Amino acid sequence: MAASHSTPGMVQIEQSEPLWQNENVRAFALFMLTLGLFLLFWEVGAKSGWFTPGVPTASETIREFWWWVTNPFYRNGPNDLGIGWNLLVSLRRVAIGYTLASVVAVPLGILIGISPVAFKAFNPFVQLLKPVSPLAWLPLGLYILRDSEQTGIFIIFISSIWPTLINTTFGVANVNQDYLDVSKTLGASRLRTIVKVIIPAALPNIVSGLRISMGIAWLVIVAAEMLLGTGLGYFIWNEWNNLSIPNILVAIFIIGLVGLLLDSLFAALEKLVAFGRNS
Amino acid sequence: MNVAPVNTVAPTEMRSPTAQMSIRNVAKVFPGKKDLFSKVTGKARRDFVAIQDINLEIEPNTFVSIIGPSGCGKSTLLNMIAGLSPISSGEILLNGAPITGPGADRGMVFQNYALMPWMTVEENLRFAVKTVDPKSSQKKRDRIIKEHIQLVGLTGAERKHPHELSGGMRQRVGIARALAINPQILLMDEPFGALDALTRGFLQEEVERIWEQQRKTVIMITHSIEEALLLSDRIVMMTRGPAARIDEILEVPFPRPRDRETIQQHPAYHALKAEMESHLFRETRAVEAARAGG
Ligand SMILES: Nc1ncnc2c1ncn2[C@@H]1O[C@H](COP(=O)(O)OP(=O)(O)OP(=O)(O)O)[C@@H](O)[C@H]1O
Ligand SMILES: [Mg+2]
């Protein structure tokens, strides 16, 4: 600190900046203010009956939330499980379906990206199947698999395969020509070029494909589970049948929170493989 | 003037028995689009003759620069020498054998460095060395890599990734990588084009120093007259495109080792410089006139 006193200019200005001028501090203040106003509006609105009758107050909902979070793992029969169990069920389905999808999509994407023939051959399938809503597969899954657990996994698989496949294909097909030229002038074999140059060069695209796929898988699982039994989606459906709106709100919040965590995980991974390419 | 321009002569007269590389009647034609679909959509293009009748004999251990107006086909020629781009007609011989594709006998330095961003400095060199000689021992590879990092003055930066380096340092890695595979010929396409003037000057002197040590055959494309005069034994001046040719070849008689100040004292310096300036000015003006007219 003593040293910086002798440096004039920038350092002085930075030091004399009051706390409230810091961008992060101001953003946080605005965030808290918005949240506070929203909760206040909700509380007052619910108490004085501005909304549909039966809408819980903010304080009620927060109390419910606290209860669910502090008692995540209890078991009172199949229709009364702690939210932790339901979360684990959903995460398990996503993990299995998503992993299977990635294991198929990444190698297939690399193949399609490398080979123009494979691209032309597979592209029609991809383009046709990509826009189909994942839930459209549900009856088919149930009919073929005859098992709600496997159907859930199947739905996740089919919905999370496309972004990874498409992004991997794009990344592999658009590797910077300079890297390929370097590899060529060194006389590298095709395999060595693919392993050492093409795949690492496409890695940022592959990871962002995986990130989008994860986001979609997490969106789809909740919808699918409403029709399948167990899991967070079913929890919401069940609480809707019980007409306990606070619990639905709690579940929505938890779904959002877990989605956010998963996404940040992939954001960190994206940073890791970027090496200054998109910074 | 004691450096009378060597005019292009018939290829048979130019053939040299000692040449390391012979470029004979080489032309590059970029095929146009003439199929029915292009015609209907109005996208049809005629064949484009970028360069034509290029004849050049390069003796071992000479530093050759190619200079010419922008877009005349210098990179096209260098890419054909590197084997990255097919030769439309004529042939390029390396030690008497025609070039058919890329190979580790030619090391390439790219204008935009072309370092793999996911590899550290050391890994970039290791990738090159291991690709070219997969059977060599780990110890030998380590030694080669260390030597070349030292050669370009990057000791201490081995574990850095390219995005953590300045442009000048990146091109040092590019040069080290090209030299580490011990090529017979070093090809450089505007190696300092993306650098600021000061860094450029430093790197030119580095290349001069390295060249004195290794005396490899070098073919370098440049836009800088001073750079060409500092580094080359011969300067190849190309005409404007399309169908660009070699206009003349200048011999640069300055003794080595050279540095910027001493070569300027040499009696031939200003004549050579004036010759190149007038050539480039003439060709560039013609390009601009053609653009304005067409
Ligand atoms: N793939 C291609 N298809 C068609 N024309 C091309 C292609 N590549 C280059 N050309 C043309 O060939 C000519 C020579 O290009 P080249 O890149 O070799 O020029 P250059 O001398 O290296 O220019 P600069 O000094 O600006 O780098 C240009 O007119 C360019 O438009
Ligand atoms: Mg060029």
- Residue of B26, B75, B187 to test ligand 1 pocket, by largest number of atoms within 8 Å of CB: B75
Provide the residue ranges of all domains of chain B, joining segments of one domain with +. Answer: 59-68+96-293
Cα distances from B171 to residues B13, B82, B138, B224, in angstroms, run 39, 19, 25, 17
Mean pLDDT (whole number) for B137-144:
95
CA B222 to centroid of chain Cα atoms: 7
Strands (E), chain A: none
Give yes or no for residue B228 having a pLDDT over 50. yes
Is A196 in contact with B127 (Cβ distance < 8 A)? yes
Take atom 29 of ligand 1 and give the residue whose Cα is closest. B71
Residue B176, token pair as written in the block: 């080290």
Is A185 in contact with B114 (Cβ distance < 8 A)? no
**Digitized pLDDT (tens) for each residue of chain A, 279 residues in all:** 344 444 444 445 555 667 778 888 999 999 999 999 999 999 898 888 888 877 888 888 888 888 888 887 888 776 777 888 889 999 999 999 999 999 999 999 999 999 999 999 999 999 999 899 888 998 998 899 988 889 999 999 999 999 999 999 999 999 999 999 999 999 999 999 999 999 999 999 999 999 999 999 999 999 999 888 888 898 899 888 888 888 888 889 999 999 999 999 999 999 999 887 764
| Chain B contact present for A199, CB below 8 A | no
Q: Relative to the alpha carbon of B70, which ligand is closest?
A: 1
Q: Which CATH architecture has domain B59-68+96-293?
A: 3-Layer(aba) Sandwich (3.40)
Give yes or no for residue B2 having a pLDDT over 80. no
Is A182 in contact with B107 (Cβ distance < 8 A)? no
All residues of chain B having their beta carbon less than 8 Å from the beta carbon of residue A276 are 117, 161-164
pLDDT for the residue A278: 64
Residues B233-257 pLDDT 10s: 999 999 997 899 999 999 999 998 8
All residues of chain A having their beta carbon less than 8 Å from the beta carbon of residue B161 are 275-276
Mean pLDDT (whole number) for B121-140:
95
CA A19 to centroid of chain Cα atoms: 34
pTM of the model: 0.85
pLDDT for the residue A15: 58
Cross-strand pairs, B27: B89
Cross-strand pairs, A168: none
CA B247 to centroid of chain Cα atoms: 17
Is A182 in contact with B132 (Cβ distance < 8 A)? no
Is B102 in contact with A178 (Cβ distance < 8 A)? no
Cα distances from B217 to residues B62, B185, B273, in angstroms, run 5, 5, 23
DSSP labels for A8-66? -THHHHHHH--GGGSHHHHHHHHHHHHHHHHHHHHHHHHHTT-SSTTPPPHHHHHHHHH
Cα end-to-end span (Å), chain B: 38
Q: Report the CATH fold assignment for A83-278.
A: MetI-like fold (1.10.3720)
Residue of B131, B144, B189 to mutate, interface with A, max A Cβ within 10 Å: B131
Interface of B with A (CB under 8 A): 82-84, 102-104, 106-108, 110, 112, 114, 116-119, 127-128, 131-132, 161-164, 181
- Residue of B48, B51, B54 to test ligand 1 pocket, by largest number of atoms within 8 Å of CB: B48
All residues of chain A having their beta carbon less than 8 Å from the beta carbon of residue B162 are 275-276
Is B114 in contact with A192 (Cβ distance < 8 A)? no
Is A275 in contact with B162 (Cβ distance < 8 A)? yes
CB nearest to A192's CB, from B104, B131, B162 = B131
Nearest atom in ligand 1 to the alpha carbon of residue B69 is: 25
| Chain B contact present for A180, CB below 8 A | no
Residue of B nearest to A279 (CA): B163
**Alpha-carbon gap, residue A15 to A124, rounded angstroms:** 60
Take atom 11 of ligand 1 and give the residue whose Cα is closest. B50
CB nearest to A185's CB, from B82, B116, B161 = B82
Cα of A95 to ligand 1 centre, how many Å? 50
C-beta B90 within 6 A of ligand 1: no
How large is the ipTM? 0.88
**Alpha-carbon gap, residue B147 to A201, rounded angstroms:** 28
What is the sign, positive or negative, of the torsion defined by CA atoms of A47, A51, A52, A56? negative
